[in-house]
Amino acid sequence: RAFSSHAGIMGTLRLLATEGAFCLLIFVIPNILDSKRMAELFKLLFWVFFAVALYGIYQATVGLADWEIRYLASGFTQEIRQLYDTKVRVFSTLNSAVSLSNVMALCILLEVATIRPRKVFASAPSAAFFFIRVSAFFTALVLTNTRTGLLVLVVGLVSMLFLVGPKRILALYVGGFAGLCLLVFFSDYFLANLPVYQEMLTGERYTSHNQFFRIGTWSDRLAGLAKLKEGSSWTPFGREMDSNVGVAGAERFESETFSHDIISLTVFTVGYVPLSIFAIFALFKLRRLHAWTLRPGLSQRERCYFLGAFFGLFSSGLSAQTLLLFPVNFFFWVAVAYLLINAREAALAAKAARAEASE
């Protein structure tokens, strides 16, 4: 793939376009919007992507139009692979089914995070519109036959339940890290038994016509994680990716730097020295972030729930690098900007309260 993220200058330009440009939103949005305007922006985005969800449902029900088939076959999108699958995964107006499923999950999580129960459920029409939108988002998510969006939704909702207290937060981190370590440790075992699990789920041993339960596609991710158990994978400052990393078939697993997840990819290309420094810095920042989200106030629940939505998105990004996809990256940085606005307004309110108390 000429525009792969590992393809030299073109890969660098691609990353700058997808990540560098959108991360600037955290500097632009806080300077032009306040929390009230941001709430209005989210309402607008929910209605815009409600239309996207409805069109996805329409695609799944009626099928793709001729011009959409021509788009898939044009070569301008990697989704040309869908034409060779048992069933085309709906993508609505977005660039892929993965993007659609992730955005639909994010819309559900952000609807939950920004909901004002007294206002939404104050009237029957308002409550009805809320449930109709959430139902449409979830239906479109399921119809994509893509599991990453479901992962975002489940992890996000679970995180929302755990991020509301210090002990729960500690349990979430310990449980998540322990789960990742177990997944790496038993990755070879899971990889060898994928056909058995596939047969248990669908009755088909090596593949499945049911895309939602096609777990054989996890073989690449498990193979990448299994490489982390090899000492040669851990270098101080990273290493170059093998030239045969893109080879198709079983031969691709022979590469010492084969990866299909962002965890092993980061270990291979960055190295354990920068990773250790980043981990220490991240732990320090996370401690401050959780201390801020747990401060009493009207927006405490909202802050915790937004963080839960981020956790859900990161869980998907770790397995499928979805943080590089538009409009997932757009939603992510807009939500980060909202948290920054919330933090600024909370700090100004606290400063005003102290000034009033001192008078």
Give the closest residue to 19 by CA, choosing from 311, 322, 268, 240. Answer: 322
The answer to whether the bond into 327 is cis (omega within 30° of 0) is yes
Distance (Å, whole) CA 317 – CA 315? 5
Helix axis angle for 166-185 and 219-226, nearest 10°, is 90
Q: What is the pLDDT of residues 50-71, one digit of tens each?
A: 999 999 999 888 888 888 888 7
**Residue 147 in this model has a pLDDT that exceeds 60:** yes
User: Per-residue confidence at 138, pLDDT binned at 50, 70, 90?
Assistant: very high
End-to-end CA distance of the chain: 66
pTM of the complete model = 0.76
**pLDDT band with cut points at 50, 70 and 90 for residue 317:** low
Q: How confident is the model at residue 350 (pLDDT cuts 50, 70, 90)?
A: confident
The predicted model gives 285-292 an average pLDDT of 80
Report pLDDT for 52: 94
Reported as a pLDDT band with limits 50, 70 and 90, residue 263 is confident
Q: Is the pLDDT of residue 232 over 60?
A: yes
- The mean pLDDT value of the chain amounts to 78
Dmax over CA atoms of the chain, in Å, equals 75
Residues 101-114 have pLDDT tens digits of: 888 998 898 888 87
Q: How far apart are CA 199 and CA 221, in angstroms?
A: 20
Q: Which amino acid is residue 210, in one-letter code?
A: N
